[in-house]
Chain A
Amino acid sequence: MDGPVNKKIVDMSGFDRSEYVVSGVRTAVYSIGSGRPVIYLHGGGTFPGFDFVREWARDRRVIVPYHPGFGESDDDPRIDDVSDYIFHYIDLFNQMGLDEVDIVAHSLGAWIAAEYASVQAPRIGRLVLVAPNGVVIPEFPNPDSFKIPKEQLHEYLTADPSVALRYFPDGHDIDFLTLGFRELTAFSRVGWEYPQGNPKLRQRIHLITCPTLLLWGQQDRFFPVGGAKTWQELLPKSELRILPKTGHLVLGENPDAPGIVHEFLTR
């Protein structure tokens, strides 16, 4: 497909690219650096790119897969429940020969990571959940990503809207729009009916046993920081860092964030 990524922003120079066929679906995987592997699972839109992972590649092998339905991976309409991603990643990691990994994950990716870690706890060393959704928190409901008007998206993404604006094209850009529509479609297959998360995750999340960092922006308008305490209570071996003057795109907006993640991973 043409224009599968945001060409204005996404720069994968220095990364190696591989493809795997997972349950019949072509899956694109980028990696950079060497050392113990750390996986980065992206959120519901790939347009901000992955520049921040380079910081971890100084002493780690960072692996960035595109979820099916996102970026350079093919569509898999059979994925219509978030738990389908668990089995996708079990399959992919088996094929890649990855036994134990660390995982850093953002937003929808963090939801997937929490589901995966609940099922595959022994295969995870350390876990970083950045601005996650997934656990339903009635006291701090999120605004439902699908209801956020397109024109206001940048105001939701970062505390300083001008930071998010630089990810967007200047005028009408059909490649960019198509990328967004396609990824929102894939997200909608698992999230349209569950914008607040998976009602069942709360009853199984205690199966996550690894050290976990919860990293949140104080001004997150997608998943309000008020819910962070609930996540911390549900994950006994977790610590919480809340970053001031930071919105939902924590790793892209706050220059300290990638380093905080790196420090936690290397402990």
Chain B
Amino acid sequence: MRNVRIVAQRELAQYFLSPIAYMVAFAILLLTGFLFNSDLGQRAGRLPPDGTAVLGVFGFFTVFFAPLITMRLFAEEAREGTLELMLTMPVRDGDVVLGKFLGAWAYYSIILGLTLVYQVIWLSITTFKAYQLSPELDIGPVISSYLGIWLFGGAALAVGLLFSAITENQVVAGFLSIATLFILWLGDFAGLVVQNRVIAQVIRALSLQAHYSTSFLIGVIRFEDVVFFIGLIVVMLFITTRLLESRRWR
């Protein structure tokens, strides 16, 4: 685990050395901030506060920005020649994969953490009596939503990491990741239009949205959803490790 930690720390630091990290954080905060502002305006004094409104959209954003975070992880190293260095270090391939994944997940968590400011605003205007404009914030769904979006983000990053290990071209890696995540996201709708019930159930069972929007986002933490996301992460990391090892045999 020592090597995993070292690789993860470097990857996390690397995000803050490149402009893309700040651009992604800026874009996410701008979009979610705009959404929060309009939601707050509509609800204040009229409707109960909903801390999960921003997080529902954050899931959809993740489909697009998770690949931006992961696309460089292996593709850039392969292109720059540093992958050869990493693979001749006394480090297991699995440690490199896990370290990079955890570094990316840590960065994702930091960005996700920035959205806590919206919850603080809700709490400040609903809990402090002097300024109370709405009923108190129901904190349960907020906590489950954060857990869900965090796991969802991890799964999306793991998918992105896999595609980064497939190609040396970052753009191709990013595009393939977005396409795959988008299909997995829309699996929920595909399940609705397919006539065959069994196939529809299978497609829906693989949908990212079905495991997030209809459970975590409404305050329900289902064991199967947790297993789905963790399982997806494990499978993706396993395949990525095998892909990396296959470079040695090519």
Q: Do A and B bind each other?
A: no
